[in-house]
Structure 1
Amino acid sequence: MPVNTQLNSVDGTIWDIASTVEVVAVPVLAGPEIDPAYAEELTGLFALGAADLLAHEKAKGGPGEVVGAPLRLGDGITDLLLYGVGDGSPAALRRAGAAIARRGRGCAHVAVAVPSGAGDEGLAAFAEGLLMASYDFRVGGPPKKPAAEKITLLTDAEAAVERGATVAGAVAIARDLANTPSREKSPQWLAEQAERLAAESGLTVRIRDERELRAGGFGGIVAVGAGSARPPRLIELTYEPDAPDAPARHVVLVGKGITFDSGGLSLKPNESMKNMKTDMAGGAAVIGTMTALRALRVPVRVTGLVAAAENLPSGSAMRPGDVIRHYGGTTSEVLNTDAEGRLVLADALAYADAELDPDALVDIATLTGAAKLALGLRHGALYATQDALAAELLGAGADSGEPLWRMPLTEDYREAIDSDVADIANIGRGGFRAGSIVAALFLREFTGRRAWAHLDVAGPARAGSDDAEITRGATGYGVRLLLRWLGGRNA
């Protein structure tokens, strides 16, 4: 797992291992009140008493709240953390776990007493928070305060802890892929990482290079990658459930894999390029999700497609006014080369519709600044052709801590992508000013009549600062909600 912190669980009391660790963390319920399961163990350890200490610190037991005090245990001093768990919901416990991880940075070993009534789902979320907030990505030396080397949870619910660790590991894979600088991260590099991860995760993989893409009619991927000296790739990962005799629903996940987006000849300003190494965050989320399917025993057959290309200006780059023929024959007029993500997704969606016969088709992409303006940095924009699919994804987002907000596929806006010379245009015209909706309408043209959903994650895929389980840089958004939706052991 990319997170360096080792997470394990043991069945015992706080003091069984307290003398061997640097930090012990004990839960506090909203109120505040020491979790009754541990109140007796803390009696007499503080000059003030635990309740008086919480009152002195004006603690309320809210999730993410931590009160610390040093304790002398034997010959050493151990830091005791009283951490709030709020209402004890999975969301609150995920946030509580993240707070402990941040307070435990720089330590070798942290022991954590888990809330007594957490349940398996709550413990899995707690483990997610601990590990996701422990994530670091650096090129060069280690951080000044690295994550704790080891975190021990005092619980016998090993399966729940393992599930949370698996989900957090998949998120970390997505973060690593998206955070890797684009100097290293060519489409070929991304394909090689997918091959390595597939071998480790029990997946099959097929990589189409530029010659196969050209011969196969993937005109959008070829056109977007034409300006770079590093040619495009189409990554196809396949997961088959362990019980192949049972009929399995087939889902196709499609991710935007633009390994760097300069805007092409429609060049972005410098400030807008600084985060463009993460423009393949949707593709990274698909790869991260795929790596966890077997470990979580997902009962659904899943194909993951990542359309990978580098969008750069050069003499061979696509130009405004060009017409592209996509997989399956639909043509699109390029009015802005910086609207490139939809061009590569179009090929992958059309291929999935024509060749893979999915029961549901879901794409995820950092597609439009309009979605970020509309919904900010925490919600992804959801577009769907079926209410039932939309409801499933909305529920999965709420349960996993990666919320979505459903947006309309407004039919009146469809004329915005009419073209004088091609079937459709790649950006809207006519003053509709609905960039995210128009982009979704463009993608819908390539999905047939299938159950399809589009996740525009330009806001939540990146973060400018740490907050709870979110770390600065690529967030890995989408992995948790997709795993929850696919049903991996109730992930």
Structure 2
Amino acid sequence: MFAIRLTDEFDDARTWVVPVGDDVPPGDVGAEVAALAAQTPGADRAGEVTVLPRPLRRPGRVLLAGTGDGDEAGWRAAGAAVVRALKDDEPAQVRLPADLDPAALRGLAEGLWLGGYRYREAPTPPRTAAVELVTATASRYDRSLAQAQATATATWLARDLTNTPSSTKNPEWFAGQVVDAAAGVTGLNVTVLAGDQLERFGGLRAVGAGSVSPPRFVEISWTPPSVPAPRHVVLVGKGITFDTGGISIKPREGMRLMKKDMGGAAAVLGATLAAAELALPVRVTALLPLAENAIGAAAFRPGDIIRHYDGTTSESTNSDAEGRLVLADALGYAAERLAPDTIIVLATLTGANAVALGKRTAALYSEDDTLARALESAGTAAGERMWRLPLPADYVEYLRSDIADRHSSPGQVHSVVAALYLREFMGGVKSWAHLDMSAPAWAEAHDLELTKGATGWGARMLVRYLSALSPA
């Protein structure tokens, strides 16, 4: 990522960024800024940037940045708009108001980094010039900048992984990325299971059976070294590196973006690494069931009975409902092996909720009101919206099977029934939540702090949630 630094020195050789409505710079620059702002309707809207060229003078350009109500979201939008208005090699300074809230600075820095994201393999080179944030009280904002950097780094990683073509991104490659990312970080441990080690992971093995790239199961854990009894949060992310639909093959358009079907795994990985970076006093374990759902002679079939990690069975009549099968194994593993206080699942599981909630909002399912409120609050602060949907008791009937413990894909109320299915594997864990985030995992165009392509949805929200937790 490009550098963002705090400084207390102005440099008129750099482009200046001036928030609309705040103290204007002294001298002729201030007079020009005030006049332009007064003559530009909507210049104060969050995410609006108005350019003031100053040829043959210093600074040579001034950007007027609208921050809306001046809250964290408004500053985040301003940061994203500003970085898009800057040239990649254009150094810039942002004049911060004297009384700026630290949360607003975090929003600004996140917006700058997130709006300036470039996929690591893209032909367009990344931004190289630093952005300096000018304030007389730099130490007041050190923590906010560190939080923004950890969150943005987690999101960049999640976006990079999700944007990577599936010709590269098979389960083995993804597992290797986890090992590399955790290497040398104190308090992080990684375990990768493959081959015969997956004997009990019937759902994962079934989904990956049709591919030439065998599945993997990855566990990455952060344990704070100085916290005696930390709360233990298990994050489970769906990791289908490409989804053809299997024998229940998708149409061409339905397969177009299926490289994003591991967006949940990417987000929980990024959040776990951020927890270690910020030394959060909470124990975090991320579980990544990784498989490619392909078509082949060994692919699982509609009507197959699958035995999961917890010993129960599922009847599957739709091989395109594969995500819940691999998640079921991960949840059974978590319930038996990890004794979590809380389980949170992130999965690009269904497209159904997008009809009701659109492209920017995930569906939230939980029976724990306290957990649901905490996740909603974290999502609001991070700019990652969610909406809680019900878990009607009478819908459980849809899971009934005549030949297995349950039916995994009955074809009814898809998103809700998928959540009810996952609930069957939570063991005795009462504090759990499932986020169906298929739609917001991808953006078709730049949108505020989102860049076209993978959004890394969930990484920012999870960092906020984990940061708010105290030791158990």
Same fold (TM over 0.5): yes
Q: In structure 1, what is the equivalent of residue 41 of structure 2?
A: 58
Task: From 6, 22, 28, give the equivalent of 1:9.
Answer: 6
Contact 2:33/2:52 (<8 A) preserved = no
Alignment of 1:90-169 (within 5 A): 90-137=72-119, 139=121, 141-142=123-124, 146-147=126-127, 149-155=129-135, 156=138, 157-169=141-153
Distance change (3 Å), C-alpha of 1:140 and 1:284: closer
Contact 1:43/1:50 (<8 A) preserved = no
User: Aligned partner of 1:211: which letter?
Assistant: D
The whole-number CA distance in structure 2 between the counterparts of 1:276 and 1:487 is 31
User: Aligned partner of 1:445: which letter?
Assistant: E
Q: What do the CA deviations read for 1:324-371 (whole angstroms, capped 9, x no partner)?
A: 000011100111000000000000001101110000011100000112
User: Aligned partner of 1:25: which letter?
Assistant: V
Q: TM-score, normalised by structure 1?
A: 0.91
Task: From 233, 237, 240, give the equivalent of 1:258.
Answer: 240
Q: In structure 1, what is the equivalent of residue 12 of structure 2?
A: 18
The whole-number CA distance in structure 1 between the counterparts of 2:90 and 2:37 is 26
- 1:27 correspondence with 2:10: no
Superposed displacement of residue 56, structure 1: 2.3
Alignment of 1:364-379 (within 5 A): 364-379=346-361
- Find the residue that maps to 2:157 and give its secondary structure: helix
Task: From 191, 194, 200, give the equivalent of 1:206.
Answer: 191
The whole-number CA distance in structure 2 between the counterparts of 1:173 and 1:192 is 14
User: Aligned partner of 2:11: which letter?
Assistant: I
Superposed displacement of residue 51, structure 1: 2.7
Alignment of 1:408-419 (within 5 A): 408-419=390-401
Q: In structure 1, what is the equivalent of residue 273 of structure 2?
A: 291
Q: CA RMSD in A?
A: 1.7
Superposed displacement of residue 50, structure 1: 2.6
Contact 1:259/1:308 (<8 A) preserved = yes
Contact 1:94/1:126 (<8 A) preserved = yes
Identity %: 45
Q: In structure 2, what is the equivalent of residue 242 of structure 1?
A: 225
Task: From 435, 447, 457, give the equivalent of 1:467.
Answer: 447
Unaligned runs of 5+ in 2: none
Q: TM-score, normalised by structure 2?
A: 0.95
Q: In structure 2, what is the equivalent of residue 190 of structure 1?
A: 174
Unaligned runs of 5+ in 1: none
Residue correspondences, number: 464
- Find the residue that maps to 1:306 and give its secondary structure: strand
Contact 1:461/1:477 (<8 A) preserved = yes
Distance change (3 Å), C-alpha of 1:357 and 1:98: same
Q: What do the CA deviations read for 1:254-304 (whole angstroms, capped 9, x no partner)?
A: 000000000000001111111111100000001111111122121111111
Task: From 264, 272, 279, give the equivalent of 1:282.
Answer: 264
- Find the residue that maps to 2:276 and give its secondary structure: coil
Contact 1:45/1:71 (<8 A) preserved = no
Q: In structure 1, what is the equivalent of residue 205 of structure 2?
A: 222
Distance change (3 Å), C-alpha of 1:489 and 1:443: closer
Contact 2:43/2:65 (<8 A) preserved = no
- 1:444 correspondence with 2:423: yes
Contact 1:296/1:489 (<8 A) preserved = no
Mean CA deviation greater in 49-58 or 80-89: 49-58
Superposed displacement of residue 77, structure 1: 5.8
- 1:301 correspondence with 2:294: no
- Find the residue that maps to 1:369 and give its secondary structure: coil
Superposed displacement of residue 106, structure 1: 3.0
- Find the residue that maps to 1:382 and give its secondary structure: strand
- 1:485 correspondence with 2:465: yes
Q: What do the CA deviations read for 1:144-190 (whole angstroms, capped 9, x no partner)?
A: xx535211111312332122111101100110111110000010000
